[in-house]
Amino acid sequence: MKLIDRYILKAHVGPFFFAFLTIIFVLILQFFASFADRFIGRGIGFGALVELIALQSAWMVGLAAPMAVLIAVVMAFGALTTTSEMTVFRASGVSLYRLMIPILLAGLVLSFFVERFNNVVQPLANYQARSLMDDIVKAKPNFGITENAFSPLVDGYSILVRKSDERTGGIGDIIIYDSTRPDFRSVITAEEGRISFSDDGGYLLLTLRNGEIHEVQQPDYRLYRKMSFQQHRYVFESTGFGFSRVMTGATVPAGRNCQQRSCCLWRVNTRERLTILKSI
């Protein structure tokens, strides 16, 4: 590597790391600002919060690295132009394309590492972050509930809670819209209730007290039913809550969502589906 190549690369190192760390910091602030109301005052340990932010920052790396490269190139060549060093290079017979060679090579190397990070590290980090969120929800079921706002804690149900007690799991002044049945629309109201998990963690239990169930037939609205209850319990399969924490070196299950799958896992699933289609 010639002296000029080392000089050009050195001019890019500082701006690159400055831009990279700044972008990561901004994205972390954005993430924390979006979920601060769910974290602060909920009894979540500082260590768990730091771990969650560190795991969530994995997807930020894939966004920050290309933007940092762009900012570093603009700042470095802008500084070289401002100090007339580009004029000196051109006067010495060094073309602009020659100055770009070390930057292009460094960009290829960085692209390889970013691709490996996005394909290997990021899916595992996303899975561990989801598992940590599930652990927090299991320990504090009201974590997914926001007071005075509809919360999609369970698919097909919109839950509005006026009062929520994080320590006991109790909730009050409850309104639930049930859209799981296409032929009926149901509205459940209750004075108080409680959210908890079964002992094995496989089911989410929603216990309501002193309430009513209103059902209207769809789409002609011909049938209306009203039922009162002193205690009513909903039992949901804890899909999305039933993951186990992933330890270092552990094997991650194949049933992950799109953000938790690597390229190799996608290829395996594609081969399996192609085999099924050929056998039909």
CA-CA-CA-CA torsion sign (84, 90, 95, 101): negative
Mean pLDDT, the chain, rounded, equals 77
Q: What is the pTM of this model?
A: 0.58
Among residues 152, 212, 210, 156, the alpha carbon closest in space to that of 187 is found at 212
* Residue 155 φ/ψ region, left for φ over 0, alpha for ψ in the -120 to 50 degree band, beta for the rest: beta
pLDDT digits (tens, 9 = 90+) for 7-48: 888 889 999 999 999 999 999 888 877 776 666 655 666 777
pLDDT for res 142: 61
Q: Minimum mean pLDDT among 123-132, 164-173, 211-220: which range?
A: 164-173
CA separation for the pair 158, 148 (Å, rounded): 12
pLDDT digits (tens, 9 = 90+) for 148-164: 877 766 777 888 888 87
pLDDT for res 250: 37
Q: Is the pLDDT of residue 128 over 60?
A: yes
Among residues 139, 180, 134, the alpha carbon closest in space to that of 159 is found at 180
Q: Minimum mean pLDDT among 66-75, 120-129, 133-142, 198-207: which range?
A: 133-142
CA separation for the pair 62, 53 (Å, rounded): 15
**Long-range CB contacts for residues 16-20, cutoff 8 Å, separation at least 24:** 16/68, 16/69, 16/71, 16/72, 17/68, 19/67, 19/68, 19/71, 19/72, 19/75, 20/64, 20/65, 20/68
pLDDT for res 253: 45
Helix (H) or strand (E) holding 85: helix 85-91
pLDDT digits (tens, 9 = 90+) for 252-272: 444 444 444 555 555 556 666
Kindly state the percentage of the chain with pLDDT values over 70: 73
pLDDT for res 118: 86
Angle between helices 58-82 and 96-116 (to 10 degrees): 170
Confidence at 70, pLDDT banded by 50, 70, 90: very high
Q: Is the pLDDT of residue 225 over 90?
A: no
The set of residues, in sequence order, having a beta carbon less than 8 Å from that of 88 and lying 6+ positions away, is none
**181-211: b (≥16 Cβ within 10 Å) or e:** eeeebbebebeebbbbbeeeeebbbbbbbeb
pLDDT for res 100: 86
CA separation for the pair 258, 83 (Å, rounded): 48
Q: What is the mean pLDDT of residues 107-119?
A: 90
Confidence at 85, pLDDT banded by 50, 70, 90: confident
Q: What is the mean pLDDT of residues 170-184?
A: 84
Please give the torsion angle defined by the CA atoms of residues 82, 85, 88 and 92, in that order, rounded to the nearest 10 degrees.
-140
pLDDT for res 144: 63
Q: Is the pLDDT of residue 5 over 60?
A: yes
pLDDT for res 251: 40
